[in-house]
Amino acid sequence: MTFDAPSRAFIAGAIWLVAGLLLIWRGLFPFWLEVAQTSYVDASLLLGGAMLIGAVKGWFVLRRSALRVLKHIDARQGYQHIAALYPRYLYLLIFVMVLFGITIRAWLGETLPGVVAGVYIGIGAALLSSTTPYFGYWRSKGVSSVHTSV
Q: Per-domain residue ranges for the chain?
A: 2-142
Q: Tell me the pTM.
A: 0.90
- The Cβ-side half-sphere exposure at 101, using a 13 Å CA radius, reads 21
Express each pLDDT in 17-32 by its tens digit: 999 999 999 999 999 9
Q: How many residues are listed for the chain in this entry?
A: 150
pLDDT interval class at 53 (50, 70, 90): very high
pLDDT at 149: 53
CA 121 centroid distance within chain: 11
Is 13 in contact with 135 (CB distance < 8 Å)?
Answer: yes
pLDDT above 90 covers what percent of the chain?
89
Question: Which value, in Å, is the radius of gyration of the alpha carbons in the chain?
Answer: 17
**Angle, alpha carbons 130-33-40 (nearest 5°):** 100
Express each pLDDT in 86-126 by its tens digit: 999 999 999 999 999 999 999 999 999 999 999 999 999 99
pLDDT interval class at 150 (50, 70, 90): very low
